[in-house]
Structures are given as structure tokens and as C-alpha cells.
């Protein structure tokens, strides 16, 4: 059942539409907006509302004034730790830090600023209003801020979980139901192409086909949607061998006949009915890293994704073949993992001997 999001995320009522059509438009917005996007909208609306209240002692306007959004860009385009205490941007940042909405006075990452602006822009579109972010001076300031704050991209995981690291984690999974579940999550998350947390926890038992398992040790997975594919456009993915066996073993041990594929397990080792949360995947990985004797923070769940592609490069798998499983939309994005491997093996690096 889809939960109706708060009114700011929905299209404004239009006098040109009948009540029936307005309801249909609202329903379209609800069904067509991913849950992760709704959560980002909620955080961003809270942030920009608090920012304007602290900066101008005023509520948001619809449409917002160009001067206000320009001030927003300028406030987030420099390191405010260097600003004097009486600086209005610093005072605003201090207020947001006190509210727990901002972490520090450092210049936010360009991607963070871009996401908040994108949400703000989306709210204007939902209200059928012209956006102040389309003004030439504002657009130019955004571009300059992005370039001024440019920094080397930080990896989403400190280390990729390559095959040897994965085997170390799997060795910590013994024989309890929790161990069976964690083994299946790690192997499915890695071997099916490096799945994201939301994709792993979003799987239902009905998304798993075991028709070819007895004959070929093959399991087929049907993802509803991913970050790079829309509903209905995601191709089926395959699990083979050990990964397929681990998943089937979990289904049998957990007695998963329908509903969520991966679920919480009680302290008494009893499988619960509700879906496992995305954050739980991070906790599972953290727990397994600790049991394996690896440092805290060694890898995040994205390490399953980066590790799959890194291992594919190490094993000489064509990038197109790896992308068919990882479902990367951009070759350039997937190529980064291959480049990290290839440059170390490039003969040109040994010219000096």
C-alpha cells in the first residue's frame, strides 16, 4: 500500500481540472515518485525552510525571489569556518548546526547543493510555478559554485569487496538462520551484479524463480526497478552455483513462501514477517566485517557493487558483460572500476624498470 506524501510534494490543485482528474494527477505523482526521492524531498524542504527562517526570518515564498535563491547558493559556496562571527551566512549556518540540519561550517559538496536545489525546483514545478533557478544570473552562480567547490570524488566504500574479501566474510556465516540469511544477502548482493541496498531489501519471494534450480543450479531474479531503470524495464538477473544455492537454502530455512525475501531475525533466531530495512544491510555488513577481523569502516554496502566490478576487471571480464548484471547506465561510470585495475597492470607504468 502506497502512503500518501505530505501536500508540498503533490501537484497544486488546478481550477482547469475536474476533481476526478485532480485526484488522478495526485495518484500519478504518488505512484511515479520513488520512496527514496520522497524522503530526499522531505529532508530538503525541511532544510531550505529552516535556512530561510534563520537567514531572513521569513517563510518560503512561492515562487521564491531570485535574490533569495542566489543568497542560498552563495551561503553554500564557501567555507564559513573562515568567516567572521558576524557574517550572516555563518550565523545562519550556526543556527542550522544547532538544529542538527547541518554538520559543519565547511563548504558542502556540490552534489549536496545540487540535490537541494533540484528538490526546491521540483516543488515549484509541482505548484505549476516558474522557477527562480532558471534566471541567467542564478544559473551562472550555480555553475561557478560547482566549479569553485569541486573536489575529487570520494569512494562510496573505503574498499571494494573483492572475491577474497567476500570469502572472508562468508566464512563468518556458520549455521544459524541469521547466518543463512546473511550469507544469502552477501552472495546475492555481490554475484547478481553488485546490488544496491534498496534493491536487495526490495526483493519479494515472488521475484525469485526456482524453475531451473534443480537441473542447472540457476535462480532468476526479477527486480521491480533500480536507480537506473524504470518499473517494468529492469531485465531479469541470474544467480548461479554457490550464490543460487545460498539463496535457496535461506528460502528453505526461513520458510519464505511469499512476501519479503529478506527479513529481520529475532534474538531467539525466529524469522519475522516484515521486510528487512536498507539500513539493516549496512549493519549486517558491519557485523560480518568485525567477525572477520577487518577494521571498522573497511567497507560499506556499496563495496559489494564496486567489488563485483573490480573483480570482473581483475578476471578480464568484458565491461559490457559486467554491465549487463550491474545495470550501469553509463559506460564511463562502470569504466572507473576497470581503470583502477588496468592502470596498475599497464606496461607503461614499468618503463623505468
Q: Where are the domains of the chain?
A: 7-148, 163-345
* pLDDT grade for 151, boundaries at 50, 70 and 90: low
CATH T-level topology, domain 163-345: hpI Integrase; Chain A (1.10.443)
pLDDT averaged over every residue in the chain: 86
Run of H or E residues at 237: strand 237-240
pTM: 0.65
Residue 95 region, left (φ>0) first, then alpha (ψ -120 to 50), else beta? alpha
* pLDDT grade for 1, boundaries at 50, 70 and 90: very low
Q: What share of the chain is helix, strand, coil (3-state, %, to 5)?
A: 55, 5, 40
pLDDT surpasses 60 at 229: no
- Give the torsion sign (CA, 225, 229, 233, 236): negative
As assigned by CATH, the class of the 7-148 domain is mainly alpha
**What is the chain's Cα-based Rg?**
24
Is there a contact between 75 and 107 (Cβ–Cβ < 8 Å)? Answer: no
pLDDT for 190-226, tens place per residue?
999 999 998 899 899 999 999 999 889 899 998 866 6
Is there a contact between 37 and 55 (Cβ–Cβ < 8 Å)? Answer: no
CA distances from 165 to 169, 198, 299, 324, 343 (A): 6, 22, 10, 23, 21
CA distances from 253 to 21, 179, 257 (A): 48, 11, 11
Residue with the bigger pLDDT between 150 and 117: it is 117
Amino acid at each position: 500500500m502506497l502512503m500518501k506524501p505530505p501536500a508540498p510534494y503533490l501537484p497544486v490543485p488546478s481550477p482547469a481540472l475536474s476533481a476526478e482528474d485532480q485526484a488522478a494527477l495526485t495518484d500519478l505523482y504518488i505512484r511515479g515518485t520513488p520512496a527514496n526521492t520522497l524522503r530526499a524531498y522531505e529532508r530538503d524542504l525541511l532544510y531550505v525552510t529552516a535556512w530561510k527562517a534563520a537567514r531572513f526570518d521569513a517563510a518560503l515564498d512561492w515562487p521564491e525571489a531570485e535574490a533569495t535563491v542566489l543568497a542560498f547558493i552563495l551561503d553554500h559556496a564557501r567555507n564559513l569556518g573562515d568567516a567572521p562571527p558576524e557574517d550572516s551566512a555563518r550565523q545562519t549556518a550556526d543556527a542550522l548546526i544547532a538544529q542538527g540540519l547541518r554538520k559543519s561550517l565547511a563548504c558542502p559538496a556540490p552534489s549536496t547543493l545540487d540535490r537541494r536545489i533540484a528538490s526546491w525546483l521540483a516543488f515549484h514545478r509541482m505548484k505549476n510555478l516558474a522557477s527562480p533557478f532558471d534566471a541567467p544570473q542564478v544559473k551562472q552562480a550555480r555553475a561557478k559554485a560547482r566549479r569553485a567547490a569541486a573536489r575529487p570524488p570520494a569512494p562510496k566504500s573505503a574498499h571494494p569487496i573483492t572475491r577474497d574479501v567476500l570469502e572472508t566474510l562468508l566464512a563468518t556465516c556458520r549455521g544459524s538462520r541469521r547466518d543463512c540469511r546473511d550469507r544469502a544477502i552477501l552472495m546475492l548482493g555481490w554475484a547478481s551484479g553488485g546490488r544496491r541496498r534498496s534493491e536487495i531489501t526490495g526483493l519479494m519471494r515472488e521475484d525469485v524463480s526456482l524453475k531451473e534450480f534443480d537441473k542447472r543450479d540457476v535462480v532468476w531474479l526479477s527486480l521491480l526497478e533500480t536507480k537506473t531503470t524504470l518499473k517494468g524495464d529492469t531485465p531479469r538477473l541470474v544467480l548461479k552455483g554457490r550464490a543460487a544455492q545460498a539463496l535457496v537454502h535461506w528460502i528453505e530455512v526461513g520458510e519464505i513462501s511469499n512476501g519479503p525475501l529478506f527479513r529481520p531475525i529475532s534474538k531467539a533466531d525466529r524469522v519475522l514477517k516484515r521486510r528487512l530495512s536498507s539500513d539493516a544491510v549496512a549493519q549486517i555488513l558491519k557485523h560480518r566485517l568485525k567477525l572477520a577481523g577487518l577494521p571498522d569502516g573497511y567497507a560499506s554496502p556499496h563495496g559489494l557493487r564496486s567489488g563485483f566490478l573490480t573483480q570482473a576487471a581483475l578476471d578480464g571480464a568484458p565491461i559490457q558483460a559486467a554491465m549487463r548484471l550491474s545495470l550501469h547506465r553509463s559506460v564511463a561510470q562502470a569504466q572507473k572500476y576497470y581503470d583502477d585495475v588496468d592502470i596498475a597492470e599497464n606496461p607503461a607504468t614499468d618503463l623505468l624498470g
